[in-house]
Amino acid sequence: MKALVHHGPGHKAWEDVPAPTIQDPTDVIATMNLGIALRNVNRHADAKPYLVKAHELDRDYGPACHNLAEHFYEIEEDAARARPLYQRATELLPTYPTSWFGLGSTSSTLKDEDGAVVAYERLLELMPENTFGRKNICMGYLH
């Protein structure tokens, strides 16, 4: 695979390098981070197994729940699979606003406007300046 390799200040080049591997297959953070890195370069099919594996390694690790939920919702457009993972992420990471936004979005997609409003209200408690949360909570109140 090609990667941008740095050889000191001002010296970098695209080079063929071995594909990344996980040194310790039980390392949830390394597994999740590899999935995120692959997702960030639009290699979604390659990212999914790592995100799933990270969640399987530790179902009580909030970032793993959040990132798998994000994959299901944003990449696979599967709100029904994403919502319980966002719910778990908000339980494990109650002050992480992005999980509350995801929970609100999936709830709204699934026509649970009351659930969406609750999630967006919590998001706005954490981030009062969040304009998307404000807009979405207004839409929830209108329904």
The answer to whether residue 86 scores a pLDDT higher than 90 is: yes
The pTM for the full model equals 0.81
Convert the pLDDT of each residue in 52-75 to its tens digit: 999 999 999 999 999 999 999 999
CB 135 within 8 A of CB 108: no
Phi, psi of 110 (to 5 degrees): -85, 10
The answer to whether residue 19 scores a pLDDT higher than 80 is: no
Count of CA atoms in the C-beta half-sphere (13 A) of 14: 2
